[in-house]
Amino acid sequence: MTGTGGPVDTFSVWDYVVFAGVILAAAGIGLFQAIRGRKETSSAEFLLGGRQMTAVPVAMSLTASFMSGITVIGTPAEAYQFGAAFWLFGFSYAIMSAITAEVFVPVFYRLGITSAYEYLELRFSRPIRIIGTSMYIVQTALYTGLVIYAPALALNQITGLNLWGVLVATGAVCIVYCTLGGLKAVIWTDVMQMVIMLAGFVAVIARGAVIQGGLTNIWEDARKGGRLEAFDFDPDPLKRHTFWTIVIGGSVMWTSIYSINQSQVQRYISCKTLGHAKMSLYVNMVGLWLTVSLAVFSGLTMFSIYKNCDPLSNGDVSTPDQLLPYLVMDILAAYPGIPGLFVAAAYSGTLSTVSSSINALVAVTVEDFILPVFKNLTEKQVYWMNMGLSVFFGAVCIGMAGVASLMGSVLQAALSIFGMISGPLLGLYLLGMLFRTPNSIGGLVGMIIGLVLTLWVGIGAQIYPPTAEKTNPLPLTTAGCAHNTTQAPWTTPVTLTPQPDFRPALADSWYSLSYVYFALLGTLTTIVSGLLVSSITGGCKQEKINPDLLVKMSDLICFSWCSKSEESDATEKDAGQFHMEVDNPAFADFDTSKNVEMVLTNFTC
């Protein structure tokens, strides 16, 4: 049946055993961390792992947090339909890692914050902090709903399990080990789940290579099918994926995800030293490269097998996100337990992301909304509040999965959400960290303008999807299907979502802007608008800003190493208590008053 369409096998008993084993292991880690740390009931222990984590597990957790079930299911389908251009995000990951590690981590680490949005109050005002936190909560709830929906769709496809039953079970498992074990449980579960995700990709590629006669044949099939033409240097911003949209727009988008998203910030500020925090991002970069490479090659393997019989066009699956689960049951059903491993891989990615989101949502709710109002709560009361909120947000995320089922391709929908909301937020942070002039009025107006523009283009693109001329799906066929359910062989690709009957004039211009540019649009609009409004409203006359809130030359690793080689030990001690191996500032009085007050950009009137 392989490669010729038609129905495929479903789960065997051993598949259920493997799958259940992974879920029980995840819950077991939560129980273990709860028992191990039963005497530690502080909020810092629950939300930040006691700020004593090291680089490697945090790096694997950073990777697993956003390389979710969406990656496991969506990226191979992307490569199958559109080719290997998605691999170019590897360049974006490198740029993002450097910017986050050298610009954002030192500032957050120096301030000893718990919520990333504490910075907005320190730099601007409390209302801006509340707005920023609220935007994050909405964005995370939507994204997490997508993350829960993706593997539920896979399980429904290859096991026949009830879709909503799977959705509820996913949220329930995450609630259990998030509530019991806190951030430590989330991070160490992520480590296990990252390994399982990679093993699932390797299983698909290895079996595909055996069927197709080697990796070389898979590569050649992909070349003949146009799947390897990744380097498109067309500057047209309306084309969905080109070298420029992915490298420029993708870098800004992923920076907005890793630099200011509470789920990620919470991880690297849990590290015990600044050196571990920075290193976790660079190790994470390697993990992202490995994951996206395996995911894309899994998609090329799928194309090699189905090059003559597209399951989507043939009616064997109903959405692109079911393609990889279908492939797994087609080529691996003869090996009991292996399909279970794949589903566990998709499910593991989901568990890691959902648990991260729940933990982060609890952190920002407690730090930004509850503690500033109820200042006399005891540590034990806050701890139990954390656990209760974990249950609440788990239920909210399950509910949002219903909304996610209406949003089309999970991969593009997920990244679009981040672009629309995180882009303006990133612009607000950069305003505060790189420039002295911006004030609260400029920051607020700039963010609102950026958010209005990104929501306008993003929602418009959802209602009026770009045409095939802009998205460039590659040809597929059903000519070789043994069970052809269509009237005639397809020679053109299936569009991502149905097109509405009426298309306004903006549909083929403004609404067709590449979704990867949403974050860039929001960031630039916020910065430019914020600077102009701040200048008009007296930004130059505001009181002196705390230099710890600005990015300093001494924060950058290159300048840190240069200064170390040129200065004596005495001078180094005098000028820079804040260096690569400083203890986490949450544990000690942290004096940065003697730091070199060199700012990357000193915007003055």
User: What is the DSSP code string of 315-334?
Assistant: TS-SSGGGHHHHHHHHHHTT
**What local confidence, expressed as pLDDT, does residue 580 receive?**
45
Could you please report the per-residue DSSP string of 62-86?
HHHHHS-HHHHHHHHHHHHHH-GGG
| Phi (first) and psi of residue 436, to 5 degrees | -90, -30
Separation of alpha carbons 440 and 442, rounded Å: 6
**What local confidence, expressed as pLDDT, does residue 446 receive?**
95
CB atoms within 10 A of CB 545: 17
Could you please report the per-residue DSSP string of 232-281?
-----TTSSS-HHIIIIIHHHHHHHHHHH-HHHHHHHTTBSBHHHHHHHH
Separation of alpha carbons 455 and 327, rounded Å: 36
3-state secondary structure 340-374: HHHHHHHHHHHHHHHHHHHHHHHHHHHHHHHCCCC
| Phi (first) and psi of residue 53, to 5 degrees | -80, 160
β-strand partners of 271? 53
**What local confidence, expressed as pLDDT, does residue 557 receive?**
61
**What local confidence, expressed as pLDDT, does residue 505 receive?**
79
β-strand partners of 273? 583
**What local confidence, expressed as pLDDT, does residue 96 receive?**
93
- Give whole-number Cα distances, 46 to 7, 30, 486, in Å: 47, 12, 55
Pick from 349, 357, 347: which is nearest to 397 by CA?
357
Separation of alpha carbons 188 and 237, rounded Å: 40
Do 158 and 342 contact (CB within 8 A), yes or no?
no
Flag residues of the chain having pLDDT under 50. Answer: 41-50, 486-497, 562-582, 584-605
**What local confidence, expressed as pLDDT, does residue 304 receive?**
94
- Give whole-number Cα distances, 487 to 309, 491, 495, 593, in Å: 14, 12, 18, 75
Separation of alpha carbons 183 and 318, rounded Å: 37
Separation of alpha carbons 33 and 294, rounded Å: 31
Separation of alpha carbons 493 and 507, rounded Å: 21
Separation of alpha carbons 477 and 310, rounded Å: 6
Separation of alpha carbons 157 and 170, rounded Å: 16
pTM, two decimal places: 0.80
**What local confidence, expressed as pLDDT, does residue 178 receive?**
59
Separation of alpha carbons 507 and 504, rounded Å: 5
Architecture of domain 43-541: Up-down Bundle (1.20)
Which residues neighbour 490 within 8 Å (Cβ) at sequence distance 6 or greater? 310, 313, 476, 477, 478
Side-chain-side CA neighbours of residue 434 (13 Å): 15
Side-chain-side CA neighbours of residue 79 (13 Å): 28
What are the extents of the domains in the chain? Answer: 43-541
Separation of alpha carbons 264 and 517, rounded Å: 22
